[in-house]
Every structure is written in C-alpha cells, then in structure tokens.
Amino acid sequence: MRRGEKAVLLFIVLVVAAGVARPLLQGEEKHDRDIPFYSTATHEVARDAMDIYRKSGCKDCHSLWTLSDMTQAVPAPMLDGIGSLRSEAWLYDYLSSPNPQAILPSRLKLKYRMPSYATLSEGERHTLAGYLASLQVKDWYLEQTKKAEYEKLTGKEYPK
Ligand code: HEC
C-alpha cells in the first residue's frame, strides 16, 4: 500500500470509529443522567430482599425504584439511595428495634409510622438491611439536589 492510500484508509477508519463511538458515549451519558439511583447488590440478594420487601408491605408506605413523584397516602421517605445515608448496621438495628421511633423520631400519626420488623427472622432482617445499604445515589444527583434546595431556600445562586 502506498503512503497516500494508508493515510486515506486511516482517515476513513477514524471517521467511522468516531461515528460509532459518539452515539454510544452520548447514550451512556444520557442513561447516567436519567437514573441517579443504583444498587451494588447481587441479583440473588436483590431478589430475596425484594420478596421480603413485598411480603412485609414496605411498598404500602415507601417508594423504591420509581422516579415519578407519586402522591402517596402515607408520607414515608422514599428508599432509593438510602444506603448513601444509612449504614447496614444502622438499618439492621432500625428494622430489629421493637420501637423504631426510639431511633428515628416521628411526627406522624401512629398508624403511619414505621412499624417494628423485629418479628422477621434474623436472616430476613440481615438480607433486607444488606440490600437497603446497597442502594446508592450518584454524586451528581446529590449535588443537584443540594443546589436546588439551597437556591429555593435562599433565593441565591449556589456557591461553586
Ligand atoms: C405503615 C407505613 C410503613 C411501612 C409498612 C414501612 N415503613 Fe418504613 N418508614 C415509614 C415512615 C413513616 C418512616 C419515617 C419514620 C417514621 O415516621 O416512623 C419510615 C422509615 C423507614 C426507614 C428510615 C428512612 C431514613 O430516612 O433513614 C427505612 C430504612 C424504612 N422505613 C424501611 C422500611 C422497610 C424495609 C419496610 C418493610 C420491611 C418498611 N419500611 C415498612 C413508614 C412505613
């Protein structure tokens, strides 16, 4: 192959590569921006934990893996990203406590408050706590939330 031909070939390869890579990279970034929550748990742990979650009625009060702001009957905190806020040990103790409000005080009416899950087996509480601790929130979302909150409260631009 002559030198000129090589250069042309290289040029074509680069153009094609860039064309393929760009939508891929953009797609990646878009996806990243869409869902700020993720879990580091294995499929097995996630499946077992979600079984316990469903049968224990957690979903009657909490939301998890739903981005939309549903109007909930119960004003319970959403659990997406909770592992960025609480440790596994904290979550285990909280679920195991006969009186969760001794750990996290509540201003809600008794029937809306977090019930005690001390009656679940130790293994089930461990699985749930482990899974909840695996629920993380991405840094950019925390930053964005902090910024929006600051600007809403102060009416000033968030300091960089
Ligand atoms: C009757 C409604 C209700 C049910 C059912 C319920 N929760 Fe809660 N949960 C709450 C409320 C309300 C709070 C906030 C504290 C309070 O007011 O008692 C809370 C708090 C929590 C917190 C602490 C959140 C934080 O900010 O640190 C976790 C974790 C949690 N719940 C997990 C669960 C899990 C897991 C289940 C199922 C095993 C469950 N909850 C079932 C209402 C509920």
pLDDT score for 92: 98
- Residue numbers of the chain with a pLDDT score lower than 50: 20, 23, 25, 27-29, 68
* Whole-prediction pTM: 0.78
Report the separation in Å between the CA atom of 153 and the middle of ligand 1, taken as the mean of its atom positions.
27
Report the separation in Å between the CA atom of 58 and the middle of ligand 1, taken as the mean of its atom positions.
7
Is 76's C-beta closer than 6 angstroms to any atom of ligand 1?
yes
Residue range(s) defining the domain that contains residue 43:
36-154
Residue 160 in any domain: the answer is: no
73 shares its domain with 141: yes
Using a 10 angstrom Cβ sphere, with 0-12 exposed, 13-18 middle and 19 or more buried, the burial of residue 101 is middle
CA distances in angstroms from 41 to 14, 49, 74, 116, listed in the order given: 39, 10, 27, 24
Residue 112 in any domain: the answer is: yes
12 shares its domain with 74: no
3 shares its domain with 65: no
145 shares its domain with 124: yes
pLDDT digits (tens, 9 = 90+) for 96-109: 999 999 999 999 99
Q: How many residues does the chain have?
A: 160
Residue 89 in any domain: the answer is: yes
Is 101's C-beta closer than 6 angstroms to any atom of ligand 1?
yes
1 shares its domain with 78: no
**Crossing angle, helix 43-55 and helix 122-133, to 10 degrees?**
120
28 shares its domain with 66: no
Residue 124 in any domain: the answer is: yes
Report the separation in Å between the CA atom of 114 and the middle of ligand 1, taken as the mean of its atom positions.
4
Residue 135 in any domain: the answer is: yes
Handedness of CA 101, 104, 108, 113 (dihedral sign): negative
What is the Cα–Cα distance from 94 to 117, expressed in whole angstroms?
Answer: 8
19 shares its domain with 70: no
Give the E-state strand segments of 3-158 in sequence order: 37-39, 135-137
64 shares its domain with 116: yes
138 shares its domain with 107: yes
Report the separation in Å between the CA atom of 14 and the middle of ligand 1, taken as the mean of its atom positions.
54
pLDDT digits (tens, 9 = 90+) for 14-38: 555 555 455 454 544 455 567 899 9
